Structure 1
C-alpha cells in the first residue's frame, strides 16, 4: 500500500513537471497579448494626436504613472495585510506567554513548561515576544518577582538575542538591545554600551546614558567621565527625569566641575543648584572666573541659590569686569539674598546709563523688603524721569 502511494505521488509529480512548459507557454502568450494591446492603444492615441514631442511625452508619462500605480497598489495592500497578520500573531503569542509566565510565578508551572523550547530557539519573533512579556510583567516593584524573571531571562538565553541587537547596523535595534539588557541588569556588554556615547545619534546616546545609570548603580553617572559630545539639554532632561522617577543614589556633582566639556559642567551646576548640594559651594566658587560666559552665568545663579553669602564679595569685585548679561545676573542674585548691607551697592548701579541695569537694580532693592522700598521712595523724589518711571513700575502693587 505504501509503495502504491509513493508511485501515485511520483506519477503526479512527473505529470506536473511535464505540464510546466505548457503553463509557461500560456503565461508568456498572455503577457505578449497584453503588451500588444498596450502598444495598439499607444499607436491609436498617437495616430489621432498631432505629431508633437510634448504629446508623446505626456502619453508616456501617463502610461508610466498608470503602470507604477498598478504595481504600487498591490504592494501596499500586501504590506498592510502582512502587518495586520503580524500584529494579530504577536497579540496571540503575547497573551499565551503572559499566562504561562504568570502561572510560573505563582508556582503552577515549571520553567521548562512555559513554552516550546524548540520554537523559542528557532524563531526570533517568539524570542522578542517573550522578552516583551518579561519586561512588561517586571514593571511592578517586587524584588522577588524581578529576581525570578531575570533568572528566567538568562535560563532561556534571551540575553543572547538582546546582545545580538547591539551589533545591528540599525540604531533603533541597538536601542532595543540597550533597554533590554539594562532592564535585566546584564552587565557583560557595558563597554559596548559605553562606546555608544561617542556616536553622533542623539537618541542612541541618550539611551546609552539611561542604560548605564541602571547598569552601574554604585557609580550611575560614570558615563560623564567619557562624555566627549556636547551634553544636550534634551539629554540632561532625560537624565534628571530618570533620577526623579527611580531610586538612584545621587552623587556629589562637584566631582565633575573640572571636566573639560563645558556642557557637562553646566549640567552638574544645575544638579547642584536643584538638589541643594550646599557642600559644593566652595568648588563652585572656584569657577567664578571661567572662560565660558554661559558657565559663569550658571555659577553665579548656583551660588545664589545655594545662599552662599561668601560669594557676594567676589561677585561685587568682578561686576565691572563682566558683560551686561552677567552684570544683570549679579544684581539679580544680590536681590535674591535680600541683604540690606548691599543696598548702597545696588543704589550706585541706578546711576548707570543702561535701562536694564537700572531696572534690575531697582527690583533687587525692592526685594530687600521695607528698607528697600523706603529707599526707593526717597530716591524717586530727586530722580530723573526714566528712573521715576522704573521705580513706579517696580513698586506698583498690581505687578
Structure 2
C-alpha cells in the first residue's frame, strides 16, 4: 500500500497519478486519508503530552510522601488517575483511526511509473517489441480444443465430471508435455540464478493482504471458509510472503526465487471463443519468478526479467510480442507491467502468457519487508515477479503452431524432457 508520509508530502502528485489509472474519486479518497491521518497524529501528540505529564507527576508523589505531605501526594495521584483515563480514551481514538486509515489505504491502488502510458483499457497498451513470424499451417488446421480431442491428450469432459468446467484432465503425451514444460522452465530459472522453492498452495488471510490480493480480489479467489484460507491465484503470493516481517541484510540481496505451483482463479467462467479450451481455466500450472531488490536496482531487474521470459519464448520457437500496459490496465498493486503474448496461428489471435511487474514499495510496505542499509537505516525494498511461464496458453500455442499433417512437432529443446518428438 502507499505510505501515508509519501501521500502527505506529495498530495497533488498522488492524486494526479491515481487519476492516470482512472481511480474513481482520487482527490476525495486522498483527502479522507489525510484527514484520518491528521486525527491519528493529533491524538498521538496529545497522548504523548499526557503521558509525559503523568510521568512528571508520578515522580513528585514519592518526594511528597517522604516529606510527609500526604494530602498533596493524594491530590497528585488523583490528577494522574484522571490523566490515565483520558489517555485510555485518546489511545482508543488513535487505535480506531489507525484501523480506519489502514482499511482505506488497502483500497487505493499503486501509483503508475512515469513510463506507463496513458489509457483506460487494454486497447491503449503499447506494443514495444515483436519477435518471429506467423507459422504457415497446413490446410484444415485446427484450434487446440479440436487437436486435443484428435490426439486424446487433454479431457475437459472428465474434468467436468470430477470437478466442473475449467478443470481439465491431462493424459498421456498431454500430461508428459505439461511435466516437460515445468521441468524445462525450472531448470532454465536455476541456470539464471533463481533459487527454487516449493511453497504451500493454500494461504492465510495475512498473506492475501501482504501481496495485495485482499481486499482487491476477494471474490476471485477460492475461499476455504472453515479455516479462512485461500487457494493461491499465483505462486507470487506464498513466495513473496516468505519475506513478510523480515529485515534483510544488504549481503542477502538480491533475492531471486522461482516456484512451480498449480494456480486457482474463480473468474474464468465467461462464455465465448476467447475462453474456449485452454484459453482460460479455473486451475492451471505456472512457474513464477520473484525478485526482491534495492529501489535503485528494481527497474534494471524488471528489464532483465522481461528479457529472461522472452528468451524462454524464443527457445520454444514461438512468435511473441511485448506490451507496456497502460495505466488503466495495470494490476491493482503494480507500478509497471509488461505482458508477453504469443500468437496462436489457428485462432488468429494473441494470447497473454506472462506478466512481469514491478510493485516498487507497494507490497513491501504491506509486508513490512525492509533491509538495513550501510548507514544502518532500515528501508523498504522493491518486489517484482513474472510468469515464466503460465502453461495453458503456451501449450495451446505449441499445439496449434506446430501442427502438421503427420502430427504435432515438439520443439527440439523440449524433446529431452518429453522423451518424444511428436504427438500423433
Bin for the TM-score computed over the shorter chain: under 0.3
Which of the two has higher C-alpha Rg?
A: 1
What TM-score do you get using the length of structure 1 for normalisation?
0.20
Higher relative contact order (CA 8 A, sep 6+): 2
* Structure with the larger strand share: 2
What TM-score do you get using the length of structure 2 for normalisation?
0.19
